[in-house]
Structure 1
């Protein structure tokens, strides 16, 4: 089953911001990561899926049902990015309230089966010993754990998590990563919106990249990283660190490299000291040698040349810099 399916989904605010024309498919049983810089439209997209924003255009389906259908919502768990529970409640009372919001009768939420479910959820997220404390005394990390317990309470088939580990320390993040892996193993589909790239690289089977409201890339993570992060196939992803960089150096190199090879070059960064970092998706090592000679012949100092690790951070930065340069990757 396709758990999330959107076609040209659009939401803007007075014609600005938001996201536009998002066509995306999330298969069953995977962890799917939504990436992009601040202001890319990620939270707007997530809120449309959760029913908190009404789309301006396009269509979407959750679990094969049109967006907003109660049957789909009952199978959805959602952890928003910014939330706060009433200070005077205990975790058990918060979960009882969420059970009723999910359609359970008050009498059901006071029964032994539900009380056992609450204990299990608090144990799962590491809050068992805080079950009788007031939420007002919780740290941000404890609040986040409680929010995750609420999202998982009614045994959803799909969970949408908006920055689930943002307030957690390294130990907490490790525990949440293990929890999400267990959920995937149980067949639960996880849609993860996060800025923590190391979590995405460890957890996610597929990712999508939003920039200024547009979807620039999506697909299996290993395929995106294996394609050198620029949307084109290439045998070797090569990195060059240079010195003596001048404002006109980029245009000069583009002209000197010419054609297809120039199109494979990416300028990742250049600072006022004249240091620059470039990458290129190359066919073979001979092209790397040709570029090294080209850099030196252009008066630049070659500090480093070698295969670049296909890390998610490198891919993320290349996607953002490419878009800032005015070209789609």
Structure 2
């Protein structure tokens, strides 16, 4: 892994005329916003860019320009583009195993742009600044350093990444610079009210029903320090839900006062769970997630688990009991 500074990554980006942009599985607002912002800025500079996601991106972000052009990542198509001279750029993807392809084709010379402290050792050129609130913040600085235009379309994408990764500026990763960047995006004509409304005020019927089921199943354990709940595969089928319909439920769980850790498990296939965790600064959840093959941030991280809900829940209680006891 060759870590580079802002000037170097900006120069590499500017001279890249064909790019395949990849991001992580179960993409969030920072993944989609960063990928589309980079894509649109590069296209405005004359580059050919194709954006891939391992999964169908959440419809919460379908208002962003370029959303409908996102393709599902697959080996044949990505390999074919690399053979045509396209370079791979991974944004917000801390692990190569989460990008939707089995491996990087020869000649892809992958660039990695991220802000996670748990980025694995991969990529020919890597730019990681963990002091930023989001990968979108890093993209903002890279585009400026490269002299690429940040207009309304790019601003909406960048703000999507910032607002989702900072929990609407509620998380401690929202710094004074985060607000300064947001102010610059607003100057482009971007409406914070519009973007916020499009993301958070268009929830599906299935999402609301799943939220209700998660609240019914919610329990507080380990001396009131852990709040834990889930939606099961049965719930998903009952409400004809997709994985995207579980978006933002963890943020509702986190509104419960008095706990130190919040856990939301979503069964996206039979006996296959994605575990989302939120904290309040007491524990580094990214390191816990990394231990179980996941990743994330200090106060927002996740990993996968296998088994039925009773089995997974029992294992999670053991994991967090050990974490709390070693505090």
Q: Which band: TM-score by shorter chain? A: under 0.3
TM-score, normalised relative to structure 1: 0.25
Bigger strand share: 1
| Structure with greater contact order relative to length (CA < 8 Å, sep ≥ 6) | 1
TM-score when scaled to structure 2? 0.26
Q: Which has more helix, going by share of residues?
A: 2
